[in-house]
A and B are shown apart, each in its own frame.
Chain A
Amino acid sequence: MAGLTPASLTADAPAPAVAAPRKNRPTSPWQEAWRRFRRHRLAVASGVVLLLLIAAVTLGPFIWPVAINEIDFAAKLQGPSWAHPLGTDDLGQDLLARLIYGGRISLAVGLAAMVVAVVVGVVVGALAGMSAGWVDAALMWLTDLFLALPLLPLLLLLMYLFRDHFKRMFGVEGGAFILIVVVIGGLRWMQVARLVRAQFLSLREKEFVEAARALGASKLRLVVGHILPNALGPVIVAGTIDVAAAIIAESTLSFLGLGFPSDIPTWGSVLRDAKDYLDIAPHWALFPGAAIFLAVITINFMGDGLRDALDPRRVL
């Protein structure tokens, strides 16, 4: 019965099964996906908000050229004003500038960690899906093992053990960035691996793959040219949601004091500094928190819309 229910309920009512007779203009699968994505109004709105957010953090420093570490004790802990649209912190630093800077880091961490997770996941999943027998069994055992690992404690442990080492090797900011991206990405690939393996198992028996094999295509060509493109839909959806999860993970680490150091303002580390001043300067905590929430919820809604567009059979 699952097939009768549209993938997501935030989408508008399903279109009539028999569409108006169209001209025999062939539509590509991507056009089809775009048409389905547009029906999910919340996802489209989220996409717009997300684009605005990305534009704000990339173009922000040019429009609002205030230094992130300009200390002004005369203006400390002030609420929003014309001079400081989002107020100031306990050192009188401008919060808007700090949040723009932090947004760049947070979004970059999210994207980079997603790329790491997807690459590892696709490689593991493809290897498991193409090679039956003990390789498949071992890789899936590994995947299940990683799924059972408690993510946050392990993230914290890795940060705790390797932080100083990476700081020495790549500098304060670069070291933290590389370590966080690798660690988050390295602990979030399992979902993608399982999806890819499942897709590979069914796709590799399909006629078009058989045909390609009969034509003498090499195994690599089969995977890269024929199977992988058809397995991409669910991977894109999982990747989108991974971006949101990675942003939350990075903010959590920074909030707990084991991510980026305090002098590098990410959304999470600003929030950590703000939490002791909740009673006198609530704006300081509310703005970074709202920024994280906005980024995460828009990405999640986008993921929901992409699921409708690319993976219409899944209900959840």
Chain B
Amino acid sequence: MSRQYIIRKILIMIPSLLGISLVLFTVLAMAPGDPFEELATNPAIPPEVRAALRAKFGLDDPVWTRYLHWLVAMIQGDWGFSFVSRMDVDKLILQRLPVTLIVIGSSQIIAILVALPVGVLAATRPYSLFDQVANTLAFVGFSLPTFFTGLLFILVFSIQLDWLPFVYRANIDATGWQFYWEHIKQSIMPVMVLGLFQGASLVRFVRSSVLDVIKLDYVTTARSKGIGERKVITKHVVRNALIPVVTLVALQLPIVFGGAIVTEQIFRVPGIGSLLISSMLSNDTPVVMAVTFVIACLVVFFNLLADIIYGWLDPRISYR
């Protein structure tokens, strides 16, 4: 993989980031309402003061200058102040981000651990009973909305069986192994909800991708050389079949972040998803804008990562 390829991909990322910022800003600018609306009804504040405030914060400037001001502020990390949490927005987000990334990361691992063996097995025995059951379960899996699976999990594992806690606690007063065990125990349900939902859609991708590869000539060659079936599948088929799956995992990321918002809300995980919802419900606009922007940037960044991995796995791509 050439360095040129990576640089080209990074350069392509810039316009999409600009595009996303433009979309977000347009949405914000089109939104009705005025930050100083409340002052208009306050008799203690004369209209001149309000006009001066508007001028000071640049609300009367043309749209383009406002966009540029906003963009520069976002790039410089000056994301505003959260009046609800009483702290800077960037600090608040940095505090919440690791939890979200851990939840999403481990749920992706679960999804791949489930989808890979099931998808490969289903594709090696197409139309068998296993294949049909797996496919039907996959349909069930991605037709169950995450908020309902989450509630079902709570109902079964917390209320009926009383195995797992259903509220995520950030400060656990335990030390050593106990501390880690409690953390793992309270993460199981959010991670499983997200992971199984992702896994269900991945199974079908893996299956069709393996089916595309399994009948190619080089696989027949490998078989006719007397390599065992298991080795043919793991060494020859799966390796190539997984290349498109990498892109698909990346393309699914916007959905994963959506799912993370829902699961964080249900299990009260203190990540950026629950931060987004709580700041919407308490009208904390700077936080809302910043979180949306961060999630959008993360999605673009992971897409870039997938492109680079794709180029590394399949060198033909990077010479196009």
Contacts and interface: CB of A to CB of B under 8 A. Distances in A.
Interface of A: 1-2, 4-5, 9-10, 13, 42, 141, 144-145, 147-154, 156-158, 160-162, 164-165, 244, 248, 251-252, 255-258, 268, 271, 274-275, 278-279, 282, 285-286, 289, 292-293, 296-297, 300-301, 304, 315-316
Interface string B93-136: 00000000000000000000000000000000011000110011
Given A152-B258, A156-B280, A278-B154, A316 B208 contact: yes
A156 B285 CA distance: 12
B55 interface: no
Given A257-B277, A315-B212, A153 B295 contact: yes
29 contacts: A5-B126, A9-B131, A9-B132, A141-B15, A144-B16, A148-B254, A148-B296, A148-B299, A148-B303, A149-B254, A150-B254, A150-B257, A153-B261, A154-B27, A156-B276, A158-B27, A160-B280, A161-B31, A165-B31, A244-B143, A251-B145, A256-B261, A256-B262, A256-B277, A278-B151, A282-B159, A296-B145, A297-B140, A300-B143
A244 B276 CA distance: 25
**Interface SS majority for chain B:** helix
Contacts of A165: 31-33
A249 B292 CA distance: 17
Contacts of B300: 148
Contacts of B31: 161-162, 165
Q: Which of B23, B33, B148 has the most CB of A within 10 A?
A: B148
Nearest to A4: B215
Given A161-B28, A316-B205, A255 B19 contact: no
Interface residues of B, number: 62
Nearest to A301: B139
Interface in B244-277: 251, 253-255, 257-259, 261-262, 265-266, 276-277
A258 B259 CA distance: 16
A206 B155 CA distance: 57
Contact of B255 (A4, A141, A151, A251): A151
B211 interface: yes
B148 to A, nearest CB: 4
B145 A293 contact: yes
Nearest to B136: A10
A151 B155 contact: no
Q: Which of A144, A286, A297 has the most CB of B within 10 A?
A: A297
Nearest to B31: A161
A293 B276 contact: no
Nearest to B141: A297
A57 B33 CA distance: 38
B216 interface: yes
B16 A145 contact: yes
A188 to B, nearest CB: 12
A275 B267 CA distance: 11
A301 to B, nearest CB: 7
A292 B145 contact: yes
Given A156-B280, A257-B281, A1 B212 contact: yes
